[in-house]
Structure 1
Amino acid sequence: MRWLTFLLCLVPAAFCSNFPWEEVQVTEKETSNYPDIAFGKAKGAKYTGPRCKVAPGDAGWPSTEDWDRFNRTLGGVLLKPVPPGASCYPGPHQDAEKCNYLLTWARTSRFYSDDPLTVLTEWPQGSTCSVSRFPVIGNCTQGGYPVYVVNATTVRHIQLAVNFARNRHLRLLVKNAGHDFNGRSTGFGALSIWTHHLKDFEYLPRHTVGPYTGRVVRVSAGIETWELKNYMNKYGFTTGVPGGETVGAYGGWIAGGGHHALSSVYGHGADSILSFQVVTADGRYRSVTPDKNADLFFAMLGGGGGTYGVLTSAIVRVYPPTPVTTFKLEFHVRPPSNTTNTLPTIHDIETFWAGVWLYQSFAREICDVGGTHYSYVRKQSNTSYTFDVRFELPHLSPAQISTLLSPLYTRLATDLGIPVNLTIPPATVPNNSSAQPPRTGTGAGPGNTYFASRLFPRANWDNATIYNATFAAIRATVEDGGFTFHGVNFWTPLSVAGYPGTHNSIAQHWREAIMHADVFDDGFRALGGGTMAQMTADEFYERHKMLENVMDGIRGVTPRGGAYVNEADVLEPEWQRTFFGERYVKLVRVKRERDPWGLFWAVTTPGSERWRVVEERGLPTQNGRLCLTGVE
C-alpha cells in the first residue's frame, strides 16, 4: 500500500499527504534483527542509560563496526565531517588553498550554508576551530561539533537516526540551515540529523484543514527564505518568512513563533501552519493537525526547537501578493566639528534622544495599520550616536502613509529641528516581483553575536508615566551601557493571528507585545577576539554582568514582558516564564509524554532542566558532555 501511495504521489495532479521521500520509512520487520534501530514505546518509558550521554572514548560508544553497519542501513548517507577551519591549522587536514578560499570567498558563496557542521554563531560550539590566517594560534578540535551527521533525504534516514541515538544513549541534534544563536544545533560527541536537503515544494490552489479552505503550500523542512521567495514569485502568493535569506523557515523559526515583516497583518510564522509531519522520539512518523496529535501541534509551534521531534514537512496557509512600501528614517548626533557626515545631523544629544522618544511614541499607530518597523540606536562615542529605522507598510497608498507619518516628521523637523523629510517611494511586492532576478541564497558566514532580548507590552505605551520609564530604560541601555538597541515593532493579537494560531503555544506575552527588542553586546566580540576559545570564564562572566545590569533595568519596566527564545541570552534568568509564559507547564507535560527518554535536548527549552552540559572551563557553550542533573 505504501508503494501505491508513493506512485500516486508522482502523478502531478494528485494530492498526497506526504512527499514521495516521506513514504520511504523504516518497517517493523527490518528492526527485528537489528535492536539498535528498533522503535521505542513512549508510554511508561523512562531513561535508563548512563548519567551522561555516551561520548567518544566511553565503553558504550559504538564501535567502528557499529557505525559501519548503521551507515549501510542508512544507504551510505552517514557523514563524519571535520570543521572547515581545519584547513587553516597544522595537521592532516591543512590545506592553504582551501583556507585562503574560506578567508576570501566563502562568505559570498553557498559554502557555509551547505556545510553539514557549520553553525552561523560560533561561540556556542566553543570556537575550537575558527577560520584564521596563518600562522594559526592553537589547535583545531571538533569541540562542540557533532561527530557524525546523517544527511537526511528520506523519513527513513531520520527514523534510523532517532532510533539509533535513543537505543545507544547518544546525544542527538537536529540542524537545518545553521542559523542558531544559542547552541541548539551543536553538541559535543553528538549524532546530528541534517535536514538541509529536504527541499520539495508544492502549491495547492485549494485545500481544507479544519475551518480553513483556501490556498496553501506544502513545504519541506529544508526550504530557506530565498527559496520560498522564489516560489512566491512563480506562483503569486505571500507568506511570512524569516528576515535572513538563508534562514530555514520550517524548523527552529516556527518553533519559536516566527516573527516577520508582515506579522502585524498575517500573524507570526507559526500562526500560518495548518498541519505538519514529524518523526517523534519513539521513531514513529506522524501527521499533526489542530485536531490530530493536537498536543504536538500545540508544542512544536512556539514551544522551542529541537525539543519534541523532527519536522519533515508542513502545510502552510498563504495570502495574495502583498504590496509593501519600504523606506528609512535616520538621523545622527555628531560633534560640531564633524563635517563629513551626509545624513541628517544634529549637535545636541538631548535633541537626539527626544527624536528617538518621538519615533517610539508612534509605535501603536504604525502597527495598528499593519506596519512593522525595524530600528537601531547605537552609541559611537560619548558625543556621537546614530538612529535609523526601516518602515515596512503593507496595503497603504501614498496618501494614507502621508496621513499616518506626517505628524511624526513634522514634529521632528519643526519642534526638534531635526532636518528630515518624508519621501514616499512606490509600493512594491518584495517577495513576488517578477522583475526581480531569482535569489540564490549566497552570503552567509559564521559570526559571534551575543545579546539578550525582551518583549515590550503594548500597555507600556498606554500610560505616559510608564512609557517615559520604559524609554528611560532603553536610553540607559545605549547611553550608560554602550549596547546597541534593536527594536522590531509589530502587533499580533489573536484577532490578527486567526486560525490556526489559536491552537499553537505562542505565549500571551507575544500577543500583548508592541516591540521585540535585541540588546547587542558589541564588546563581547572585542573581548578575546570574539571567540570563547580565547576567553576565561572570569572574563566572560564579568562582561556578562554588564549586559545583565541593563537588562534588569528593562525587565523592571516590562514585568508582563517576555523574550524570544530564538534570539535571547542563553543565561536568561527565569527563562521558563520569560520564553514560554503560561504555556510552560503544558509544554513540559507534552515533552515528558512524547519523549520520556530526553532524547531531544536543547538549551532553555521545556524540560531541559533535567540535563546540563558539563563544560570544563565553566563557559555556557555546548563543548561538554550532556549529563543528568537530578531535576525531574
Structure 2
Amino acid sequence: MCHFLLPALLALLTGVNAINFAWESVQLKDSDVGNFSVIAFGDKSKLSFLTSTPACKAFPGSSDWPIDAEWRQLNVSLGGVLLKPIPPAAVCYPGPNYDANKCSYLFQNATFTRFYINDPVTVLTAWPQGGTCYATPFPVGNCTQGGFPEYVVNASTVKHIQMAVNFARNKNLRLVIKNTGHDFVGRSTGAGSLSIWTHYLKSFEFLPEYDQGEYSDTAARVSAGLEAWEMYAYMDKYNITLVSPGGSTVGPYGGWMAGGGHSTIGSIYGLGSDQPLSLQVVTADGRYVTADPDTNEDLYYALRGGGPGTYGIVTSAIVKAYPPLYVSESVVTFVGGDFSMLNTSITNPSLGLNFTFTPPASTKSIETFFEGVNFYQYFGKKIVDNGGTAYSYISRTSNSSFSFTTNIETPGMTKEESFSFLQPLYKKLNDIGIPVNQSMPVTSLSWGSTRQGEGDSPGNSRFATRLFPYSNWEDGPDGTVFNNTMAAIRSTIEAGYTFHGIHIKPDEATAGYPGNSAVNPAFRTAIMHADLFDNTQLQGIAPALAKSTHVKLNDAMNLIRNATPDGGSYINEADVQEPNWQQSFFGDKYERLLEIKRDRDPWGLFWAATTVGSEEWEVRTADGLPTQNGKLCKVGSSA
C-alpha cells in the first residue's frame, strides 16, 4: 500500500485530490470565484471547432490587455503574491530605477551569491530576453522590459497556480513557467506574459516504504522548487541516493525531469524522467490532478520526458530512492600542438613571486592529440557499459593548439577498482606519446556540485546538441562509422567550437519501472550526449552578426548530424532553431504527444519554444532573431 501519512489525512479532511504536502491542500474552489469570473475553471466541453480564438495573445497596450483594476483584483485574490518586477539591470540605466551601488553589485558581488537564482525574472541564458536591459557599466539607450514577463505569481500554494492559470487562459494571456531559470532557449520568459514562479515550493519527505505496481522500495516526496544542492543534503540526511542534476541550482522536478534529465548516475538508474512514480499537476483547465500509471495515464506519460512547459504545471512528485552510492572520480587532461608557455616560471622577488606552472601532459603532434581524443571517446563505451559517465571538453586554444579534459565518474566502484578499470586508458595515452599520470581516484557519496546553491549568473552564447547512437561505436575503433563520427567532431573543434561530450547510457533496462515514458527514443540508444558551444557573446551585437554566427554553428552541427543519422537532440540543451526539431527532440513519439497536448490544452495556454504543438504559434520580433521579445501570434495570422 502507499504511505501518505499527514498528506493523506489532509486530503481526506479537505476533500481534495491526493497531495504530497500541506500547502498542496490549499486549492481553488468554485465558490472562491465569486464575481471575479476571470479566475473560473476552464471547460473544454464548451469548445467546438467553431470556437474562434484571437490571432495573438493579449499584449501590453492592446485592447484586450487586462485593465489595472483586474490586475489589482487578481493580486487581492492571490493574497498579495502578484509581483511586477523590473529587469535586474534597470539599476544601471538612466531613469527612476538608477542606483550606482546596486549596479556595481551586479558586477562585483551578484555572481557569487544567489541573487540571480532568487530573482523572479532572470533566466540563466540572457539573449532570449532580447537584450533590452542587460547589465553594463556603460549603458546605451534605455532599459525596457523586453522579453521579461510583465507580472509574476510567486506561488506558494496550489491555489496560487490555479488562479494564475485560469486568469491567463480566460484573459488570453501568454503564460510562462519559471523555477530556477536554467533555461537555454527562452522557455521561461516571454514579452507581455504572466509568469508562474515555482521557485519557493520547497518540501521533502523520505518514505521508508512505498508500494506501487511492481515497485516496492524506498521513495521520496519532492516538490518542484527543490534544487539539486538541497537534494544532496537530503540524500546525506537519509542515507539514500536520488537521481538529481550535477548543477547545484538546477531544479530536478520541473523542466529537467520533463525534458529527460541526465546525471552522473544515468548509466545505472536512468534519466530524471524515469524517476517519478506519481505526479501532482495543475492542468490547463485549472484543475489539480494526480498522474500515475493508473490515473491520468496520458499526462503521466507526457510529463516524463515529453518536454517542459507543455501539458501542465507539476507541483510535486513521488520518486524512486536508492541505497547510498559511492562514486569514484578521475580527471584526465592533456594538450596538443604549440604550447610554448607550458613550462613557465614567474619569479619577481620584489613582488614576492616565485611560481612555476605545472603543465598538463602534452604532445606537439596535433595528430597524436586527436588520436588520444579518439581513443578516449571509444573507451567511453567501456565506461557506460560498466555504469559510468564521463564529462569531457575539447577546445581549440589557438591556431596551432588544442586542449582536452575529462571527468570520469564510476558509480559503485571503490577508488582501487576505478584505478584498475581506467588503467588501459592511461596506458594507451602514454603508449602513443601523451604522458598522462594516473593518480588515485577521489571517492565520495556526494558527487554533485559542492556549491551550496550560489554562484550562478546569466550566460549569453548559443549552442546545439546531439545524442550520439551507441551503434556508431559498434564497428570498433578502426571501423568506418566510428572514425567518420570522430572526423566530424574534430572538424567542429578545428572550426573553433568547444565540444562538450557526456558519455551516458540511459537505456530501457537502466530506466526500470514503470517504463513507457515520453522521453526522446534517441536517449535510449545513446552512448553520448554532446553540446557544441559557440563562444560568440550575443549581448549588444548587431542582428545580422547574430544570424551569421548561427548559420556557421548550424553548418558545423550538420557535420555531426550527418555522421549520426540515427541520433537526436536533447530538448533541454538545444538550439532553438534545431532543424526538424519534432524528430530531433521526440522521434516517433511526437504524434502521440501532439494528440495529448491538443486534448489536454485545447486553448493553447501552455506554450514554449520548440515544444509539442508550438509550431502553431510564433513570436514576432522586430529584429527577426529567435528571442522572446515580441508578441505571440498564430502562424499565418494577419494580426
TM-score between the two structures when normalised by the length of structure 1: 0.94
Q: Which residue of 2 aligns with 1:76?
A: 80
CA distance in structure 1 between the partners assigned to 2:558 and 2:468 by the alignment: 13
Q: Deviations over 1:560-600 (max 9, x none)?
A: 00000010111000000000001100010000000001000
**8 Å contact from structure 1 (residues 43, 593) kept in 2:** no
**8 Å contact from structure 1 (residues 6, 20) kept in 2:** no
Q: Which residue of 2 aligns with 1:507?
A: 520
Q: Letter of the aligned partner of 2:559 in structure 1?
A: G
**Which of 128, 131, 135 in structure 2 is aligned with 1:127?**
131
**8 Å contact from structure 2 (residues 92, 136) kept in 1:** yes
- Give me the identity figure in percent: 51
CA distance in structure 1 between the partners assigned to 2:239 and 2:39 by the alignment: 43
Return the offset for 1:431: 5.0
Return the offset for 1:424: 2.0
**Which of 85, 89, 93 in structure 2 is aligned with 1:89?**
93
Q: Which residue of 2 aligns with 1:493?
A: 507
Matches for 1:183-332 after TM superposition, within 5 Å:
183-332=186-335
Bigger Cα displacement from structure 2, 468-477 vs 17-26: 17-26
Q: Which residue of 1 aligns with 2:434?
A: 418
Matched, 1:484 2:466: no
CA RMSD of aligned residues (A): 1.9
Return the offset for 1:239: 1.2
CA distance in structure 2 between the partners assigned to 1:9 and 1:296 by the alignment: 21
5+ unaligned residues in a row in structure 1: which ranges? none
5+ unaligned residues in a row in structure 2: which ranges? 1-5, 345-357
CA distance in structure 1 between the partners assigned to 2:481 and 2:7 by the alignment: 60
Q: Letter of the aligned partner of 2:123 in structure 1?
A: V
Matched, 1:577 2:583: yes
**8 Å contact from structure 1 (residues 239, 317) kept in 2:** yes
Matched, 1:549 2:555: yes
**8 Å contact from structure 1 (residues 324, 395) kept in 2:** yes
CA distance in structure 2 between the partners assigned to 1:202 and 1:10 by the alignment: 19
**8 Å contact from structure 2 (residues 394, 493) kept in 1:** yes
Where in structure 1 do 4 or more consecutive aligned residues deviate above 6 Å? 4-7
Q: Which residue of 2 aligns with 1:22?
A: 24
**Which of 534, 541, 549 in structure 1 is aligned with 2:541?**
534
Matches for 1:420-459 after TM superposition, within 5 Å:
420-430=436-446, 440-459=452-471
Q: Letter of the aligned partner of 1:614 in structure 2?
A: R
Summarize the Cα distance change of 1:336–1:566 in structure 2 as closer, same or farther, 3 Å threshold.
closer
Partner SS, residue 580 of structure 1: helix
Summarize the Cα distance change of 1:5–1:268 in structure 2 as closer, same or farther, 3 Å threshold.
closer
Partner SS, residue 44 of structure 2: coil
Return the offset for 1:291: 1.7
CA distance in structure 1 between the partners assigned to 2:302 and 2:273 by the alignment: 11
Summarize the Cα distance change of 1:247–1:5 in structure 2 as closer, same or farther, 3 Å threshold.
closer
CA distance in structure 2 between the partners assigned to 1:585 and 1:630 by the alignment: 22
Partner SS, residue 443 of structure 2: coil
Summarize the Cα distance change of 1:286–1:427 in structure 2 as closer, same or farther, 3 Å threshold.
same
CA distance in structure 1 between the partners assigned to 2:256 and 2:360 by the alignment: 35
Matched, 1:560 2:566: yes
Matched, 1:517 2:530: yes
Return the offset for 1:404: 2.5
Matches for 1:161-180 after TM superposition, within 5 Å:
161-180=164-183
Matches for 1:133-172 after TM superposition, within 5 Å:
133=137, 135-172=138-175
| Matched pairs, number | 610
Q: Letter of the aligned partner of 1:101 in structure 2?
A: Y
CA distance in structure 2 between the partners assigned to 1:97 and 1:482 by the alignment: 38
**8 Å contact from structure 1 (residues 181, 449) kept in 2:** no
Return the offset for 1:400: 3.2
Partner SS, residue 33 of structure 1: coil
Summarize the Cα distance change of 1:137–1:630 in structure 2 as closer, same or farther, 3 Å threshold.
closer
Partner SS, residue 238 of structure 1: coil
Matched, 1:349 2:352: no
Return the offset for 1:35: 1.4
Q: Which residue of 2 aligns with 1:467?
A: 482
Partner SS, residue 191 of structure 2: coil
Return the offset for 1:540: 1.7
Q: Deviations over 1:11-65 (max 9, x none)?
A: 9xxx973311111111112225221011111246366332110011011111111
Bigger Cα displacement from structure 2, 207-216 vs 351-360: 207-216
TM-score between the two structures when normalised by the length of structure 2: 0.93
Q: Deviations over 1:411-461 (max 9, x none)?
A: 1102x11111222234211159xxx99x63111111113100000000000
Q: Deviations over 1:185-232 (max 9, x none)?
A: 110100000000100111111111221111111011000011111111
CA distance in structure 2 between the partners assigned to 1:8 and 1:593 by the alignment: 31
Q: Letter of the aligned partner of 2:574 in structure 1?
A: A
Q: Which residue of 2 aligns with 1:368?
A: 385
